[in-house]
């Protein structure tokens, strides 16, 4: 069960929090992080097993618990925003295989905006946040069109 949870958590991070996963990989802390996180749900696993809960539900409950503190995915937020507001650029990046890389760059480029708005589930639909991020994304895209950019 533990290894399946490690694998599911790793896949979840790849899909929704690649910037976190890349940071962990750069520091050589991926396995430590995954193992420490999954060890925290051991008592939940035992409690659910004792009540006869099926394994797939145990895994789902554990993954929910493991990811609850991660908050809203900046990666997914920016991916949706880029596709909606900068559709041509989005599909060009997707077509050239640079979308993932550029979204991670955008997370870093927009970090101060996310932090100043205290980005979370409660404000992910905030209009002013969206406008601020759109402006910052445009600024980033403008740098790509400079002679030193892509």
- Which range of residues forms the domain containing residue 98? 74-144
Residues 79 and 140 in one domain: yes
pTM: 0.81
- CA-to-CA distance for 30 and 32, rounded, in angstroms? 6
Q: Which residue among 14, 35, 70 closes a domain? A: 70
Over residues 11-27, the pLDDT tens digits come to: 999 999 998 999 899 99
Half-sphere exposure of 93 (CA within 13 A, CB side): 20
pLDDT one-digit tens code per residue, 46-92? 999 999 999 999 999 999 999 999 989 999 999 999 999 999 999 99
Q: Domain boundary at 70, 104, 121, which?
A: 70
Whole-angstrom distance, CA of residue 64 vs CA of residue 41: 10
| Total domain count, the chain | 2
């Amino acid at each position: 069960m533990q290894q399946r949870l490690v694998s599911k958590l790793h896949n979840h991070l790849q899909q929704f929090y690649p910037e976190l996963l890349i940071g962990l990989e750069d520091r050589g802390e991926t396995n430590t992080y995954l193992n420490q996180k999954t060890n925290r749900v051991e008592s939940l696993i035992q409690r659910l097993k004792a009540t006869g809960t099926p394994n797939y539900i145990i895994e789902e409950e554990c993954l929910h618990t493991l990811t609850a503190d991660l908050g809203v995915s900046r990666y997914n937020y920016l991916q949706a925003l880029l596709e909606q507001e900068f559709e041509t650029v989005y599909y060009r990046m997707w077509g050239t295989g640079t979308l993932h890389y550029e979204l991670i760059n955008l997370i870093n480029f927009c970090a101060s905006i996310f932090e100043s708005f205290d980005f979370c589930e409660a404000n992910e639909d905030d209009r002013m946040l969206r406008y601020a991020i759109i402006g910052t994304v445009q600024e980033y895209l403008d740098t790509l069109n400079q002679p030193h950019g892509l």
